[in-house]
Amino acid sequence: MREIKRQIKSVQNTKQITKAMEMVAASRLRKAQAAAEASRPYTDKLKEVVGSIAAGSKGLKHPMLQNREIKKTGYLVVTSDRGLAGGYNANVLRRVMQEIKENHKSPSEYVIFVIGRKGRDFFRQRNIAIAEEVTGIPDSPSFADIKSIAASAVKNFENGSFDKLYLVYNKFVNAITQEPMIKQLLPMENMGGVASVANYEYEPSPEGVLEVLLPKYAETLIYSAVLEGKASEFGARMTAMNNATKNATKMIGSLTLVYNRARQASITQEISEIVAGANAQA
């Protein structure tokens, strides 16, 4: 009975922790979701401007718009620094490993950029080389937090270190659903098909503006994926901690039932012993 009582106390303590973590995740989710949604208009407008230039500049050849023979592929993987978030990290890492297994025969055919401690540790445990990593991303990330790795990934594509760059992250749908995504970031496709409702005049030239905007647009897409990932992380953690709290409640109920039965059996045994002793004396 003492052992069961200890178990009940232990589960109650765990339940308090999971409940607190659920509330913290819910609070941070609202902020992260607002940040992810606020970044979308800027990204859409930048895409419109870049698409307008690409459509209006016939014969424009920029390395970020040109398809070339695929000799090496880059993957920029967005994960979290902490666990206890259900399948958040496992889903996105499984997705990128599936992609690598299906499309590459040797490690020389791909390169990994990773954001988040969980992703870094995952690839290190499998002896997969990491070109660059960023950890310790705050709960409300700024562009400066990921600028170095974003600029490095884009620069490596431009100088020919690899010929295609994929962005792998969790897309935030709602607090319960996060969808692992693998999206081609570079070379950019169908930019010339983006309709624009306005006519722009560019100085010094459309090509000069595009030279500056294309890398910024690619980096903005990476930052947007990080914001989506943060919202997904808190949504997954909130759901996981809610499920853990419910499971703890069920476990406490089951243990309490076992404890009450054991207590009842003990009392019954004591009564039987008292009756048997009284009968023996009589």
Mark whether 226 and 136 lie in a shared domain. Answer: yes
- For 163, residues 6+ apart whose C-beta sits below 8 A from its C-beta are 68, 69, 70, 71, 72, 73, 157
Mark whether 170 and 202 lie in a shared domain. Answer: yes
Domain that holds residue 274: 2-20+240-281
Instruction: Give residue-wise pLDDT tens across range 157-195.
Output: 999 999 999 999 999 988 889 999 999 999 987 665 555
CA dihedral 40, 41, 42, 47 (to 10 degrees): 90
Average pLDDT taken over every residue of the chain: 90
Instruction: Give residue-wise pLDDT tens across range 70-86.
Output: 999 999 999 999 999 99
Structure token digits, residue 94: 């499984």
Report whether pLDDT(136) > 60.
yes
Mark whether 117 and 229 lie in a shared domain. Answer: yes
* CATH code, domain with 114: 3.40.1380.10
| pTM summary value | 0.86
Report whether pLDDT(132) > 70.
yes
Indicate left, alpha or beta for 127 from its phi (over 0: left) and psi (-120 to 50: alpha). left
Mark whether 67 and 169 lie in a shared domain. Answer: yes
pLDDT band at 239 (very low <50, low <70, confident <90, very high): very high
Q: How far, rounded to the nearest angstrom, does the alpha carbon of residue 264 sit from its chain's CA centroid? A: 50
Domain-located, residue 65: yes
What are residue 92's DSSP bridge partners? Answer: none
Distances in Å between the Cα of 191 and the Cα atoms of 51, 185, 258 are: 5, 12, 65
pLDDT of the residue at 189: 77
Q: Report angle CA 72, 74, 79 to the nearest 5 degrees.
A: 155
Domain boundary among 200, 215, 236: 236
Mark whether 230 and 268 lie in a shared domain. Answer: no
Region 82-96 average pLDDT? 94
CB 73 within 8 A of CB 103: yes
* CATH code, domain with 273: 1.10.287.80
Mark whether 168 and 74 lie in a shared domain. Answer: yes
Report whether pLDDT(58) > 70.
no
How far apart are the C-alpha atoms of 228 and 89, rounded to whole Å? 13
